[in-house]
Amino acid sequence: MNELSQLRQGAFAPGNNAEIADAMATASGVRIDVDRRRGRGAGLNMSGRFEPITREAFDDGWQTIEDLPPFKTEVQVEKPRSVITRNESPDIPFDRSINPYRGCEHGCIYCFARPTHSYMGLSAGVDFESRLYAKPDAPRLLERELARPDYKVRPIAIGTNTDPYQPIEKEWRIMRQILEVLRAANHPVMIVTKSAMVTRDIDLLAPMAEKGLARVGISVTTLDRKLARAMEPRASTPAKRLEAMRAVSEAGIPTAVLVAPVIPALNDHEIERVLDASKTAGAAEASYVLLRLPLEVSPLFRDWLLRNYPDRYRHVMSLVRSMRGGKDYDAEFGKRMKGAGPYAWQIGRRFDLAAKRLGLNVARRQLRNDIFVPPLGMGVQLSLL
């Protein structure tokens, strides 16, 4: 019996409602067979929202759908004209960022970056995790952009959209090359990751941190291995992230923990435990972000809940909507990160009290902008020809 049949035959018998039936119907046409999506977070692979037609895989009676191969990670080269992305968002602490990759093999089901794959004509579902883009020219482009006479130094954030230390970084090493450019230019950088691979670059980050140029944030969503495996299938385990946090901190690099996302009735009870474990591992700063469900992320997350935690579906979504003005998501600045309403206030208050008790966020170190040296490498020389 498949998952949808199990759900229809009683998993929601008490208080079954139209919303759950609608969620099952939405998923039924685009859900990927479990053997094809093994190791992936998303269970759906719906067409991108900009596509003029919608394609769905269905059984034509000849069982041909059973012969489709599992999704394998594919990497294409992307050649952007520039690598620094600018933003003017009032609720994030940086105005520029770099993404060495498009798409993310970690497969976190809640990732708010999933809808960006629609701009490539691909799905925000399994495509986002398996059809990736690498930007090998990023270090050269960065070198050229930093050398511009009108460039003004501000910390560059890396890992804010897709993880720079996702598994394909082992082969492509684009993130390491970017750090080499930033180190040579004495340029400040802020990193956020879910991967223990960040420890590979301690030899670059430690000297930068000694000059006040580097900070590392490690995202710890849960300490529950089972939940982490289901929710973030190819990210480092919670224990490995804490080990990486300890190694980074002991190397003298300012370290922070990001509890993100906080999901009501799923991992919000772990806030204090995550902060306590992170403090023990060496974190000096902490922040959190409430679950965000923009565009395609909402049906993907709801389908994931139905597959993995059907008994909590209504409760989780009810609490989410209570913090989002009755909707799955509210993108208003000032509310999108923290939500609104009594439950959101309670989460924020718990977080603040726990952080204060543990001595987190007592002193936030500002990165330096005053020792920047414009690069003069090959990327700059080629731009003059």
pLDDT digits (tens, 9 = 90+) for 246-271: 999 999 999 999 999 999 999 999 99
Q: Can you say whether the dihedral through the CA atoms of 151, 176, 99, 361 is positive or negative?
A: negative
Measure the N-to-C terminal CA separation of the chain; round to a whole number of Å: 65
Reported as a pLDDT band with limits 50, 70 and 90, residue 376 is confident
Bridge partner residues of 258 (DSSP): 219, 287
pLDDT in the model for residue 25:
45
Residue 21: count of CB within 10 angstroms of its CB: 13
Among 45-49, 286-290, 344-348, name the one with the lowest average pLDDT.
45-49
Tokens coding 50: 């900009």
Mind listing the pLDDT tens digit for each residue in 185-238? 999 999 999 999 999 999 999 999 999 999 999 999 999 999 999 999 999 999
C-alpha–C-alpha distance, residues 365 and 157, integer Å: 15
Mind listing the pLDDT tens digit for each residue in 140-158? 999 999 999 999 999 999 9
pLDDT in the model for residue 363:
84
Reported as a pLDDT band with limits 50, 70 and 90, residue 32 is confident
Phi, psi of 2 (to 5 degrees): -80, 175
Of 304 and 11, the one with more pLDDT: 304
Q: Indicate whether 46 pLDDT > 50.
A: yes
Residue in the structure block whose two tokens are 């993880």:
163
pLDDT in the model for residue 5:
45
Q: Can you say whether the dihedral through the CA atoms of 246, 210, 217, 104 is positive or negative?
A: negative
Q: Indicate whether 139 pLDDT > 90.
A: yes
pLDDT in the model for residue 19:
63
Of 35 and 50, the one with more pLDDT: 50
Residue in the structure block whose two tokens are 């435990």:
273
Bridge partner residues of 97 (DSSP): 85, 157
Reported as a pLDDT band with limits 50, 70 and 90, residue 50 is confident
C-alpha–C-alpha distance, residues 322 and 309, integer Å: 20
pLDDT in the model for residue 370:
96
Reported as a pLDDT band with limits 50, 70 and 90, residue 67 is low
C-alpha–C-alpha distance, residues 119 and 97, integer Å: 19
Tokens coding 266: 């799923």
Give the sheet arrangement for strand 131-134, strand by strand: 74-77, 131-134, 101-102
CB contact set of 353 (below 8 Å; sequence gap of 6+):
none
C-alpha–C-alpha distance, residues 286 and 146, integer Å: 30
Bridge partner residues of 285 (DSSP): 256
pLDDT in the model for residue 34:
81
pLDDT in the model for residue 245:
98
Tokens coding 332: 């208003």
Mind listing the pLDDT tens digit for each residue in 74-85? 999 999 999 999
C-alpha–C-alpha distance, residues 221 and 270, integer Å: 9
CA angle 227/228/233 to nearest 5° reads 120
Reported as a pLDDT band with limits 50, 70 and 90, residue 51 is confident
Q: Give the gyration radius of the chain's Cα atoms.
A: 22
C-alpha–C-alpha distance, residues 373 and 270, integer Å: 43
C-alpha–C-alpha distance, residues 107 and 13, integer Å: 31
Q: Indicate whether 382 pLDDT > 70.
A: no
Q: Indicate whether 6 pLDDT > 50.
A: no
Mind listing the pLDDT tens digit for each residue in 316-360? 999 999 999 999 999 999 899 999 999 999 999 999 999 999 999
Furthest CA-CA distance within the chain: 72
The four Cα atoms 263, 264, 269, 270 give a dihedral, to 10 degrees, of 0
pLDDT in the model for residue 13:
40
pLDDT in the model for residue 31:
79
77: part of which helix (H) or strand (E)? strand 74-77
| Percent of all residues in the chain with a pLDDT value above 70, rounded to a whole number | 86
Tell me the one-letter amino acid at 127: D
The mean pLDDT value of the chain amounts to 90
